[in-house]
């Protein structure tokens, strides 16, 4: 098989959650342990940092990896979902896993894993851990796929756990209250392993504290440390953070959500230093300022054009969208154009209720089975007094927005990681 044939095989034999949703989800770790035994426990051959949370875990994972790379550590990075190419999920020092490794992994081991019927994520996690071991990485930043307690990444014994925040997402798997969701995320807290909690609510904080106490894990609440003092913008539209540890710290990522993420990261950096990681001020500054270049991060308030300004963002739930809508209120433009689509297992009404009424909308759907049909998206949006036209494909919606936009207008594309993925794929 060539690379594309291998990906087709993987998608067809192990259903991809981002494509089909709950039918691809497998509860429990039996397959994960079986795969881990078969591959001789590759995750034990390198250090790890485990990152969970409803929102922000991708940005935090990439920034931690960038800092570690800047410090000279050979760094693995495992994240999901991918936007353009499957290989984005598995990187070493920012370079995606090779097509050859993906092909060989499947061809060599399919006789073992086919009878197991693993999920796509179970198989991909085994692939990532095996690749990192083969590449002899010093440390790997591992992003949780879904939840925490039963996520197949949860077999690692990390040096540090990070839980960014809790809001409503994947409620059909994790529970319909913040306490239940927090309990699932808290499942990554390990005996004796420090854990940094980014944000809490009155419902979630006791859950984290109780789990940490039960397993004897040192716990740090980043919001209590107040390491981020305030933030401003510079000419490049980068955040300049005044922090307790790094004055005038410049960050490349531009979304408002990065203020919370940065406070979480500052606490995590302190804990990594306590754990023996050699992270200089220069390393931290380089990681924050060059995270996209160092790791390949895309889709976080990413600027794609000027005159009109074109921004895309992968925020896809109410927690993420509250930051995006606030950010849109801070922009200067004549007319706001929003290209938007969502998947059918999200709180679509919750997101639509947040969106600005005075924007011109281009409702569309991503090229995944979970996508909410574009006509249904338009009809539901109209009940929230959001008006515009509907388009069956992201390309058509985006081109319509560009045609109608004037140079001093603003085009935002988002609502789903998969809308952004389809947009970015137009240039590939």
Q: Which residues are 220's β-sheet partners?
A: 196
Q: What is the pTM of this model?
A: 0.91
Looking up residue 404, the CATH number of its domain turns out to be 3.90.190.20
Cα distances (Å, whole numbers) of residue 421 to 82, 84, 353: 8, 6, 24
Q: How many CB atoms lie within 10 A of CB 358?
A: 9
pLDDT confidence of 172, banded at 50, 70, 90?
Answer: very low
Residue 260 sits in the same domain as residue 314: no
Span 308-318, average pLDDT: 89
Boundary (domain end) residue, out of 244, 271, 295: 295
Q: What is the pLDDT of residue 344?
A: 85
Q: What is the pLDDT of residue 176?
A: 61
Q: What is the pLDDT of residue 174?
A: 55
Residue 286 sits in the same domain as residue 337: no
Domain count of the chain? Answer: 2
Q: What is the pLDDT of residue 170?
A: 43
Residue 74 sits in the same domain as residue 201: yes
Cβ atoms 49, 141 nearer than 8 A: yes
Boundary (domain end) residue, out of 268, 295, 322: 295
Residue the block writes with tokens 């790094």: 246
365-385, pLDDT tens digit by residue?
Answer: 999 888 999 999 999 999 999
Q: What is the pLDDT of residue 25?
A: 45
Residue 114: DSSP 8-state: G
Kindly state the helix (H) or strand (E) to which residue 271 belongs, with its residue range.
helix 258-274
Residue 211 sits in the same domain as residue 65: yes
Looking up residue 139, the CATH number of its domain turns out to be 3.40.1190.10
Residue the block writes with tokens 């922009």: 331
As a whole number of angstroms, the distance between CA 148 and CA 195 comes to 13
Span 64-92, average pLDDT: 96
Q: Domain residues for 389?
A: 302-425
3-state secondary structure 219-248: EEEHHHHCCEEEEEECCCCCEEEEECCCCC
pLDDT > 90: what percent of the chain?
75
Residue 284 sits in the same domain as residue 377: no
Residue 197 sits in the same domain as residue 278: yes
Q: Is the pLDDT assigned to residue 411 strictly greater than 80?
A: yes
Average pLDDT along the chain: 91
Burial of 214 (0-12, 13-18, 19+ CB in 10 A): exposed
Residue 118 sits in the same domain as residue 253: yes
Question: To 5 degrees, how large is the angle CA 53–CA 274–CA 269?
Answer: 45
Residue 152 sits in the same domain as residue 43: yes
Boundary (domain end) residue, out of 275, 295, 315: 295
Cβ atoms 161, 153 nearer than 8 A: no
Residue 206 sits in the same domain as residue 232: yes
Burial of 207 (0-12, 13-18, 19+ CB in 10 A): buried
Residue 284 sits in the same domain as residue 335: no
Cis status of the peptide bond prior to 81, with omega within 30 of 0: yes
Residue 418 sits in the same domain as residue 279: no
Residue 365 sits in the same domain as residue 273: no
pLDDT confidence of 168, banded at 50, 70, 90?
Answer: low
């Amino acid at each position: 098989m060539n690379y594309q044939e291998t990906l087709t095989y993987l998608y067809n034999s192990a259903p991809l959650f981002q494509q089909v949703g709950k039918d691809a989800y497998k509860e429990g770790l039996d397959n994960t342990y079986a795969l881990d035994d078969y591959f001789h426990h590759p995750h034990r051959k390198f250090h790890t940092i485990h990152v969970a949370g409803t929102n922000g875990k991708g940005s935090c994972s990439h920034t931690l990896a960038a800092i570690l790379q800047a410090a000279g550590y050979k760094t693995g990075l495992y994240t999901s979902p991918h936007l353009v190419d499957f290989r984005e999920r598995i990187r070493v020092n920012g370079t995606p896993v090779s097509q050859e490794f993906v092909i060989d992994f499947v061809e060599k081991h399919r006789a073992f894993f086919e009878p197991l019927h693993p999920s796509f994520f179970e198989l991909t996690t085994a692939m990532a851990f095996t690749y990192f071991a083969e590449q002899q990485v010093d440390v790997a930043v591992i992003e949780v796929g879904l939840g925490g307690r039963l996520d197949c990444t949860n077999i690692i014994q990390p040096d540090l756990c990070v839980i960014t925040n809790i809001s409503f997402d994947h409620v059909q798997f994790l529970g319909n209250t913040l306490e239940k969701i927090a309990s699932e995320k808290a499942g990554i807290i390990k005996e004796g392993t420090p854990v940094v909690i980014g944000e809490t609510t009155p419902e979630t904080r006791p859950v984290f504290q109780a789990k940490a106490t039960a397993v004897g894990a040192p716990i740090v609440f980043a919001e209590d440390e107040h390491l981020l003092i305030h933030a401003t913008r510079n000419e490049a539209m980068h955040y300049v953070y005044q922090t307790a540890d790094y004055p005038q710290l410049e960050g490349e990522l531009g979304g408002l959500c990065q203020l919370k993420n940065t406070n979480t990261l500052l606490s995590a950096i302190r804990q990594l230093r306590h754990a023996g990681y050699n992270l200089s001020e220069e390393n931290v500054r380089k990681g924050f300022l060059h995270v996209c270049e160092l790791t390949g991060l895309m889709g976080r308030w990413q600027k794609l054009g000027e005159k009109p300004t074109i921004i895309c963002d992968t925020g896809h739930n109410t927690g993420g969208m509250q930051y995006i809508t606030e950010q849109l209120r801070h922009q200067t433009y004549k007319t706001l154009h929003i290209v938007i689509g969502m998947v059918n297992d999200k709180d679509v009404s919750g997101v639509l209720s947040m969106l600005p009424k005075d924007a011109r909308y281009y409702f569309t759907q991503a090229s995944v089975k979970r996508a909410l049909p574009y006509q249904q998206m338009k009809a539901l949006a109209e009940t929230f007094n959001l008006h515009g036209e509907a388009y069956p494909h992201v390309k058509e919606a985006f081109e319509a927005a560009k045609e109608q936009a004037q140079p001093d207008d603003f085009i935002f594309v988002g609502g789903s990681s998969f809308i952004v993925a389809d947009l970015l794929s137009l240039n590939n």
